[in-house]
C-alpha cells in the first residue's frame, strides 16, 4: 500500500511546481539499507519520468538513504552497478558512521570527538585501499605512480583552513545570521592523511613498494607570492589573499548549496579577518603528502 501512496504524493508534488524542476530529491529515512531500497526509489523516479515524457530536459535525481547506526549498507553498494546500468550515469557517496556528532565543526577538526576522526580515518583507509587495488590491476610490474594528498605532518588533526572557515560560520551563528543547526548539519568528509597513514595502506594492499614518501608545506605567505600578491598589500594581509581565494574556489559551491548564496560575501569577508588573526599568531602551512609507489612483480 505504501508504494501507490508514495507515487501519488510525489507526482502530485512535482506537478504542483511551476516551472517543472530539473532536480528531484528523495530521502528514505527508515530501513533503507536493504536489498529493496534502490527498487523503491527507482519506482518513484519512474513515476515522475512518466509524467514528464514531453519534457526534453533530463531529470537529475538525488537519493538519500538512511538507517540506524551499525546497519550494513554493503548490499546497497553491491546493487549499484545494476542500478547505474538501468538509470545512466550516477555519482555515489557513503557517509561514514560517526560523523553526525561533529557539533560546531564543518570537517575533521582539532576539537572533533574521537569517533569523528576515527570515522574519517576509516573512510580514507577504505577509499585509498580501493584506489590502490584498482591501480594495481592497471599497472605493469615496474610501473610507477606519483600521488599527492592534502595532508598533515603528524597525527594532530588540526585542519586550519577548514577550522577557520568554521569559526567564521560560527561567528555568524552568534549574531543570528545563520541557524546553529545548519552549521552542525554541514560536514566536509575530508581526511588529511599523515605520511604513516599513506604508508600503512600501501603496505597493507601489498602490490607496491614505496620509492619516495615526502611532506612539503608552503606557508600561507608563500601562497600569496605564488598568486602575485606582494609589496602593495598591508603586512597583516600578506598570506591571506591566496589562501582565501583557494578555499573559496573549493568550498563556495558546497556552501551555496547548503546555506544559500546570500551569505557568501559576508562569510568570506569574515574568513579573511579570521585568517589575518591566525597568521598574526603563528606560521600556518598547507601540507602536501606525496608518495611515489612502484608496482611489484605479480
Q: Which residues of the chain are in CATH 1.10.1200.270 domains?
A: 99-298
pLDDT tops 60 at residue 231: no
Residue 193's closest CA among 213, 167, 208, 210? Answer: 213
pLDDT tops 80 at residue 130: yes
**149-166 confidence digits (pLDDT tens):** 889 888 887 788 889 999
Q: Which residue has the higher pLDDT, 21 or 284?
A: 21
**CATH of the domain spanning 1-94:** 3.40.50.150
Q: What is the 3-state secondary structure (H, E, C) of the chain?
A: CHHHHHHHHHHHHHHCCCCCCCEEEEEECCCCCCCCHHHHHHHHHHHHHHHCCCCCCCCEEEEEECCCCCCCCHHHHHHHHHHHHHHCCCCCCCCCCCHHHCCCCCCCCCCCCHHHHHHHHHHHHHHHHHHHHHHHHHCCCCCECCEEEECCCCCCCCCHHHHHHHHHHHHHHHCCCCCHHHHHCCCCCCCCCCHHHHHHHHHHHCCEEEEEEEEECCEHHHHHHHCCCCCCCCHHHCCCHHHHHHHHHHHHHHHHHHHCHHHHHHHHHHHHHHHHHHHHHCCCECCEEEEEEEECCC
Contacts of 167 (CB under 8 A, 6+ apart): 274
**22-53 confidence digits (pLDDT tens):** 888 888 766 666 657 777 788 888 888 888 76
Average pLDDT (218-224) is 58
Q: How far apart are CA 109 and CA 125, in angstroms?
A: 18
User: What's the CATH number of domain 99-298, 1.10.1200.270, 3.50.50.60, 3.30.413.10, 3.40.50.300?
Assistant: 1.10.1200.270
**55-100 confidence digits (pLDDT tens):** 667 778 888 877 666 666 667 767 777 777 776 766 666 666 666 6
pLDDT tops 70 at residue 296: yes
Average pLDDT (245-266) is 89
Residue 159, pLDDT score: 80
Average pLDDT (221-236) is 50
Residue 237, pLDDT score: 53
Residue 207, pLDDT score: 96
Average pLDDT (167-185) is 93
Q: Confidence class of residue 294 from pLDDT cuts 50, 70 and 90? A: very high
Residue 2, pLDDT score: 63
Contact 47, 14 (CB under 8 A): no
pLDDT tops 60 at residue 228: no
Q: Confidence class of residue 286 from pLDDT cuts 50, 70 and 90? A: confident
Which range is least confidently modeled, 100-104, 139-143, 161-165, 255-259? 100-104
Q: Which residues of the chain are in CATH 3.40.50.150 domains?
A: 1-94
Residue 232, pLDDT score: 46
Q: Confidence class of residue 236 from pLDDT cuts 50, 70 and 90? A: very low
pLDDT tops 70 at residue 233: no
Backbone phi and psi for residue 83, each to the nearest 5 degrees, phi listed first: -60, -45
Q: Mean pLDDT over all residues of the chain?
A: 81
Extract the C-alpha cell encoding 286.
598547507
Residue 107, pLDDT score: 86
Which range is least confidently modeled, 11-25, 65-79, 110-124, 200-214? 65-79
Our CA angle for 116, 117, 121, nearest 5°, is 120
Provide the terminal-to-terminal Cα distance of the chain, rounded to the nearest Å: 55
Amino acid at each position: 500500500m505504501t508504494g501507490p501512496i508514495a507515487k501519488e504524493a510525489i507526482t502530485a508534488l512535482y506537478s504542483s511546481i511551476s516551472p517543472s524542476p530539473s532536480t528531484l530529491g528523495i530521502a528514505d529515512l527508515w530501513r533503507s539499507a536493504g536489498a529493496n531500497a534502490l527498487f523503491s526509489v527507482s519506482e518513484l523516479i519512474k513515476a515522475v519520468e512518466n509524467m514528464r515524457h514531453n519534457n526534453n530536459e533530463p531529470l537529475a535525481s538525488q537519493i538519500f538513504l538512511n538507517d540506524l547506526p551499525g546497519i550494513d549498507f554493503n548490499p546497497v553498494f553491491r546493487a549499484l552497478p545494476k542500478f547505474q546500468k538501468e538509470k545512466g550515469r550516477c555519482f555515489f557517496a557513503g557517509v561514514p558512521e560517526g560523523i553526525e556528532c561533529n557539533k560546531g565543526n564543518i570537517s575533521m577538526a582539532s576539537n572533533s570527538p574521537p569517533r569523528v576522526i576515527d570515522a574519517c580515518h576509516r573512510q580514507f583507509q577504505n577509499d585509498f585501499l580501493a584506489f590502490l587495488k584498482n591501480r594495481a590491476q592497471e599497472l605493469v610490474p615496474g610501473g610507477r605512480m606519483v600521488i599527492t594528498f592534502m595532508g598533515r605532518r603528524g597525527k594532530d588533526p588540526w585542519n586550519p583552513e577548514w577550522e577557520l572557515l568554521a569559526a567564521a560560520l560560527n561567528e555568524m551563528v552568534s549574531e543570528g545570521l545563520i541557524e546553529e543547526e545548519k552549521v552542525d548539519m554541514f560536514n566536509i568528509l575530508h581526511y588529511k592523511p599523515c605520511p604513516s597513514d599513506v604508508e600503512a595502506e600501501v603496505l597493507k594492499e601489498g602490490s607496491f613498494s614505496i620509492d619516495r614518501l615526502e611532506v612539503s608545506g608552503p606557508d600561507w605567505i608563500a601562497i600569496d607570492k605564488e598568486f602575485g600578491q606582494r609589496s602593495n598589500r598591508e603586512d597583516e594581509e600578506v598570506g591571506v589573499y591566496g589562501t582565501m581565494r583557494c578555499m573559496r574556489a573549493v568550498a563556495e559551491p558546497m556552501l551555496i548549496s547548503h546555506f544559500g548564496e546570500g551569505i557568501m560575501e559576508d562569510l568570506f569577508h569574515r574568513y579573511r579577518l579570521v585568517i589575518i588573526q591566525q597568521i598574526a599568531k603563528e606560521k600556518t602551512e598547507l601540507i602536501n603528502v606525496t608518495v611515489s609507489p612502484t608496482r611489484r612483480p605479480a
